[in-house]
Structure 1
Amino acid sequence: MSILSSTVKSGVVFAALMTGSAQAGETLDRVRANGVVVDVLVNDYPPFGFINAENQLDGFDVDVGKAFAEKLGVKLKLETPGWETIISGKWAGRWDLAISSATPTEERAKVVNFPVNYYSVPAVLVVNTDEEAIKSIADISGKRVGVGTGSSYEAYINRNFAIPGKAKIEFPFTEVQAVPGDETVNFQNLSLGAGVRLDAIVASLATAQGQINATQKLKVVGEPLFAEPNAVVTDKGDPEWDAEVKRVITELKANGTLAKISEKWFGVDITKYAE
């Protein structure tokens, strides 16, 4: 082997290594260079993300995003491209992460990453206070059940839901008419009366409790359906950024920041159940 060919090959290897390194840390490099982290979330999922009376994005996920940016030492920019767009991946560098109450499922993990869970709450069945026939999830066969569009609750009602690494989910009901839509609208419809527009809703306990308190026309029935972890979402292809996201969230949990945010919004620490 000649000295020239050896030098050329060494240069190619070095360039390849440098290219791989740049790709691995592309998101983190961009965030540091711009001094801004772009976080995407949904704005119709109170109390996690919603537009408040001052026409500002607000909620538990918004506060977690603010804490994340502060811990990283950059400014926070929030965008709301829509849930289906977020969870479909292929962000092309438009956004850096999604702190948006996403359940890590096997199907979703094919197109996006879930570097760290940041809270976990049980899924519950909600009915109108006048409802007498539905006492548990086993009673929803043939009923109209409201769920958030594209949510894990919709997959559950369609008997097509699994949590990676968890025990098999049971479906103690037969055919159900899933009614996907905006969760706030679903709760409004259920508040109209038992069976008027909906027979029940499957949602997180935190969301359900907020609506129960607000309307005084709803109640939770039966046992919790499953414990649903919620994770930060990132796009595929940047393991260095995933590691940084996990580091920051883990520190926010360890120092009590996530607990304080949870207490503010729910009166309890839903982040202590995150695995």
Structure 2
Amino acid sequence: MTPRLLVLFAALTLPTVAFAGETLDRVHAKGEVVDVLVNDYPPFGFINDKNELDGFDVDVARAFAEKLGVKLKLETPGWETIIGGKWAGRWDLAISSATPTEERAKVVNFPVIYYSLPAVLVVNKDETTIQSAKDITGKKVGAGTGSSYEAYLNRNFVIPGQPAIEFPFGNVEVVPGDETVNFQNLALGAGVRLDAIVASAGTAQGQIDATGKLKVVGKPLFAEPNAVVTDKGDPEWDAEVARVIKELKADGTIARISQKWFHTDITKDAE
């Protein structure tokens, strides 16, 4: 992370009210840390065939709890609830593949980045007219509801500390929704229900492998850092979250989890 990004990132995570150590005290008193995530975002968080929460973010959360010396409790209140802040002590953190943005930083904190993946444009394998982002003007393009990809398609997306993002397309018919459903619709055929999807490279590759009916076109759309989320008001907890995640990166734990899910280390550019 560049010095400029560090300054901006720190500014975005300043608490509005300080209750020093409240969250850390609660976690140690209960012997449990409560992590929230989404369950419809494979391979980061999803329900597996055993009806259990599974995925990259789940494994990172387990490693976090183990390093902290407490048990892990997982909850899935919904993305909009997570990123809306004002958790009122119900949850302790969200390891849920969240991209820090200026708007989100007004209501939640992003104490540490734990991985980085580019956003990509996905189309049906039989699609011939869409070769890059400039070709999606007027097209029906899917994105996760409330995601950075939806904001990108609406041309109002800024990542603090990074170069201005280019929008080489005109107005798009954005189709927000469950990402898994969007990919299922795209797999039905070129233009049948969707013309394209903007998604994480990791999610896209998982869907490409699973369906055999999709492909990535063009260059990556933008670099996307992903951070742990905490509620406003507890800088001591933010510091502890950052410390634990940095230790998990330094000792290779998150890299090993990354290799398990992606066969590559998606943490190496997340500094």
TM-score, scaled to structure 2 = 0.93
Residue in 2 aligned with 1:71?
Answer: 67
**4+ residue runs over 6 A deviation:** none
Distance in 1 (alpha carbons) for counterparts of 2:270 and 2:158: 17
Shift of 1:134: 0.2
Match of 1:226 in 2: 222
Within the candidate set 185, 189, 192, 1:193 is matched to 189
Larger radius of gyration: 1
Q: Greater helix share, 1 or 2?
A: 1
Percent sequence identity over aligned pairs: 82
In structure 2, the residue matched to 1:6 is none
Q: Give, as a single letter, the amino acid of the residue that structure 2 aligns with 1:60.
A: F
* Backbone CA RMSD of aligned residues: 0.9
Match of residue 111, structure 2, among 96, 100, 115: 115
Deviations 1:74-124 (A, max 9, x none): 000000000000000000000000000000000000000000000000000
Aligned to 1:34: 30
> How far 1:273 sits from its partner (Å)?
1.4
Matched, 1:178 2:174: yes
Distance 2:222 2:233 in 1: 31
Q: Which amino acid aligns with 1:36?
A: E
Kindly report which structure 2 residues correspond to 1:90-105, keeping only aligned pairs within 5 A, or say none: 90-105=86-101
In 1, Cα distance between equivalents of 2:140 and 2:102: 26
Match of 2:201 among 185, 205, 224: 205
The residue identity in structure 2 corresponding to 1:172 is P
Describe the superposition over 1:192-214 as per-residue Cα deviations: whole angstroms up to 9, x where unpaired.
00000000000000000000001
1:67: how far off?
Answer: 0.1
In 1, Cα distance between equivalents of 2:65 and 2:28: 11
Structure-2 separation of matches of 1:236 and 1:24: 11
In 2, Cα distance between equivalents of 1:125 and 1:30: 42
Distance in 1 between the 2:42 and 2:200 partners?
A: 11
The answer to whether residue 240 in structure 2 is matched with residue 244 in structure 1 is: yes
Query: Amino acid of the residue matched to residue 117 of structure 1?
Result: I
- 2:222 paired with 1:235: no
Counterpart of 1:134 in structure 2: which amino acid? Answer: I
